[in-house]
């Protein structure tokens, strides 16, 4: 049995919050507008409405697509929301912006959007997935011109890694049914989260709306009901995409398309005669064999080319491992080009971030779950953001009470829905939630 809080005081408090919100909205609009100060654009940049995110043409003899950009954060942004809107994974946006809080970044902060990629080293046909970069590349050739679509992916965990090698798409399915593997069912049972043998299409199906089955048994490329997991080692070996990305991939990919899954943390590419290096931090923290190989390739390339390499820059790129193509040939570097900053353009913050969780209005006759009661506002906002990005979504907000901050999830239509959220909070986030029932006659 879960503890149920008979909180007439809390409900009175919630009612007061609603009234205060209305008062502030109608009486304080002008004051709020004067505080909504937009940071001026950098003098070297020009605001841009759009930037290529997934579709690129591949110039002959070149290995790099896209370009870097940056955007200024607004209050309430999270890096997962920014990442999804611009077609990036959590791994990519985190590596490119070290030290920035994932869930409660500071408003006005300048965020790098790493929308430039070195193509994997190998045949450019079909689907190529680089596990080290957690990114999928789909190559298409039309009239001797080559184009590529690219999407971030979630991949297998250390315990259940995604297999590497040459495969192909054996079949496709819209609104797939998930037949739960015995190993996954057992793992969930041990956590106190028993699963049915079959999960039909719907919000609780982890395969999402579209699935492309590989010829390797039990492995798929599919969507997800947990978008915030894209760019993480979060699957049981499958390749997971954002819902909007897998839909496009599904439509563009015929059965029997070849799929190459490889692991390349160190990538070398050319653009406009310059040599670039892109480094992704290996999952185990070090990879001596791969590192030795990349040094050998760089030395051979330097001998073969007419350009000298900046080896201090090479060391810096290897050490930082930001997953961004950085010019390392000396002749390609001018002032400010060491980190690729001269190539970045400013992107105007969108009016609405695609896929950002929407929090429904408070209802006095609904059920709620108290997820946390904290003294620090930022800690409370961080927990609320994490809960909001669970899959399927759990609406959460922070409500101040005196000098403390409560994280309240809801509203929920009945006790069963609220009780299910209590279980999910416990299993997914190890949070002990408390049920809050509606007030009598509310």
Report DSSP letters for 415-439, one per residue.
Answer: HHHHHHHHHHHHHHH----EEEPPP
Report DSSP letters for 50-81, one per residue.
Answer: ---SSEEEE-TT--EEE--EEEE--TT--HHH
Are 210 and 247 in contact by the 8 Å Cβ rule? The answer is yes
Annotated active-site residue 238? The verdict is yes
- Residues in Cβ contact with 37 at an 8 Å cutoff, skipping those fewer than 6 apart: none
Compute CA distances 255 → 128, 215, 366, 379, whole Å: 15, 11, 47, 47
Name the pairing type of β-strands 126-130 and 258-262.
parallel
DSSP state of 37: P
- Residues in Cβ contact with 371 at an 8 Å cutoff, skipping those fewer than 6 apart: 383, 384, 387, 396, 407, 408, 409, 425, 431, 433
Compute CA distances 139 → 62, 124, 151, 184, whole Å: 14, 6, 12, 33
Taking alpha carbons only, the member of 271, 430, 287 closest to residue 279 is 287
How far is it, in rounded angstroms, from Cα 39 to Cα 437?
Answer: 44
Annotated active-site residue 85? The verdict is no
**Active-site hit among 11, 222, 280, 389:** 222
How far is it, in rounded angstroms, from Cα 114 to Cα 37?
Answer: 26
Q: How far is residue 343 CA from its own chain's centroid?
A: 23
Taking alpha carbons only, the member of 82, 424, 423 closest to residue 228 is 82
Q: Which helix (H) or strand (E) holds 368?
A: strand 367-374
Phi, psi of 387 (to 5 degrees): -65, -40
Q: Which helix (H) or strand (E) holds 132?
A: none
- Residues in Cβ contact with 414 at an 8 Å cutoff, skipping those fewer than 6 apart: 367
Query: Cα angle vertex 137, ends 67, 90, to 5°?
Result: 65
How far is it, in rounded angstroms, from Cα 66 to Cα 99?
Answer: 25
**Active-site hit among 29, 85, 188, 238:** 238
Catalytic residues: 222, 238
């Amino acid at each position: 049995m879960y503890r149920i809080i008979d909180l007439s005081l809390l409900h009175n408090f919630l009612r007061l919050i609603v009234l205060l919100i209305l008062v502030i909205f109608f009486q304080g609009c002008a004051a709020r507008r004067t505080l909504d100060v937009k940071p001026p654009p950098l003098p070297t940049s020009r605001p841009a409405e759009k930037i290529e995110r997934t579709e690129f043409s591949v110039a002959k003899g070149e290995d790099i697509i896209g370009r870097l950009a940056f955007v200024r954060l607004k209050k309430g942004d999270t890096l997962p929301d920014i990442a999804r809107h611009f077609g990036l994974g959590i791994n990519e946006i985190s590596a490119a912006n070290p030290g920035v809080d994932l869930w409660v970044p500071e408003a006005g902060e300048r965020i790098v959007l790493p929308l430039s990629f070195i193509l994997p080293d190998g045949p450019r046909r079909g689907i190529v997935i680089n596990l080290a970069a957690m990114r999928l590349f789909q190559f298409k050739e039309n009239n001797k011109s080559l184009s590529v679509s690219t999407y971030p992916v979630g991949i297998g965990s250390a315990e259940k890694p995604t297999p590497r090698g040459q495969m192909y798409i054996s079949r496709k399915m819209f609104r797939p049914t998930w037949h739960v593997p015995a190993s996954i069912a057992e793992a969930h049972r041990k956590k106190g989260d028993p699963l049915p043998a079959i999960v039909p299409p719907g919000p609780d199906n982890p395969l999402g709306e579209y699935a492309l089955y590989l010829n390797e048994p039990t492995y798929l490329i599919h969507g997800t009901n947990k978008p915030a997991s894209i760019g993480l080692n979060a699957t049981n070996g499958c390749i997971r995409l954002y819902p909007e990305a897998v839909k496009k991939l599904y439509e563009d990919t015929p059965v029997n398309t070849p799929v190459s899954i490889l692991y390349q943390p160190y990538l070398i590419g050319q653009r406009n005669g310059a040599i670039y290096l892109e480094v992704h931090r290996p999952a185990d923290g070090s990879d001596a064999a791969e590192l030795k190989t990349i040094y050998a390739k760089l030395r051979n390339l330097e001998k073969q080319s007419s350009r000298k390499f900046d080896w201090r820059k090479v060391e810096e790129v290897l050490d930082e491992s930001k997953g961004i193509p950085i010019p390392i040939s000396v002749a390609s570097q001018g002032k400010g080009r060491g980190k690729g900053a001269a190539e970045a353009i400013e992107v105007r913050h969108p009016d609405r971030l695609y896929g950002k969780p929407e929090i429904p209005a408070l209802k006095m006759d609904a059920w709620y779950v108290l997820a946390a009661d904290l003294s620090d506002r930022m800690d409370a906002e961080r927990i609320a953001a994490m809960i909001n990005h669970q899959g399927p979504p759990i609406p959460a907000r922070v409500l101040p009470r005196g000098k403390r901050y409560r994280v309240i999830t809801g509203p929920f239509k009945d006790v069963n829905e609220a009780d299910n959220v209590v279980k999910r909070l416990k299993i997914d986030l190890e949070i002990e939630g408390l049920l809050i029932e509606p007030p009598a006659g509310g």
